[in-house]
């Protein structure tokens, strides 16, 4: 799953914690790795992960320059709120290198990319 920014309100209070809480249940469904991606540098992602107790539950991945987000067509322009170019909020299920499900949020809300919704798709 991807978030617009580490340490931001929705990402920190809801999105990432949902995956941390449900990581064991998700893995029991056959998921090998849960990844949280954000257009932040790796040091920020590491620090954020430590504050959220992700070790052994969620891998924190930096898309520092946004190359992955851009290549996937999932980049969003948040310059008007001071964030610059970031990733849209989304979650995907990848099965053997193929995207089986991709839920992209409209705007900054958290309706279809949360852990519970994605768990239902497994």
For residue 89, which of 117, 60, 109 has the smallest C-alpha distance?
A: 109
Percent of the chain residues past pLDDT 70, beyond the cut: 100
C-beta separation of 3 from 84 below 8 A: no
Q: Is there a catalytic annotation at residue 11?
A: yes
Could you read off the pLDDT of 88-105 as tens digits, one per residue? 999 999 999 999 999 999
- For Cα atoms 25, 30, 31, give the angle at the middle one, nearest 5 degrees: 80
Predicted pLDDT at 76: 96
Which tokens sit at 90?
């989304």
Domain boundaries 2-121, corresponding CATH code: 3.40.30.10
> What φ, ψ does residue 12 adopt, rounded to 5°?
-85, -35
Of the residues 2, 3, 11, 34, which is catalytic?
11
The pLDDT of residue 82: 82
Encode pLDDT of 50-75 as tens digits: 999 999 999 999 999 999 999 999 99
- What are the residue ranges spanned by the domains of the chain? 2-121
pTM: 0.94
Work out whether the CA dihedral 43, 45, 49, 55 comes out positive or negative. Answer: negative
Whether residue 19 has pLDDT greater than 90:
yes
């Amino acid at each position: 799953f991807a978030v617009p920014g580490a340490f931001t309100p929705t990402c920190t209070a809801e999105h990432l914690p949902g995956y941390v809480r449900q990581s064991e249940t998700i893995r029991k469904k056959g998921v090998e790795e849960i990844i949280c991606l954000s257009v932040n540098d790796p040091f920020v992602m590491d620090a954020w992960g430590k504050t959220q107790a992700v070790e052994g539950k969620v891998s924190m991945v930096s898309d520092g320059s946004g190359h992955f987000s851009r290549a996937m067509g999932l980049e969003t322009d948040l310059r008007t709120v001071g964030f610059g170019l970031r990733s849209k909020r989304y979650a995907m299920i990848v099965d053997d290198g193929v995207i089986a499900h991709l839920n992209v949020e409209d705007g900054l809300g958290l309706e279809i990319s949360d852990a519970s919704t994605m768990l239902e798709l497994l």
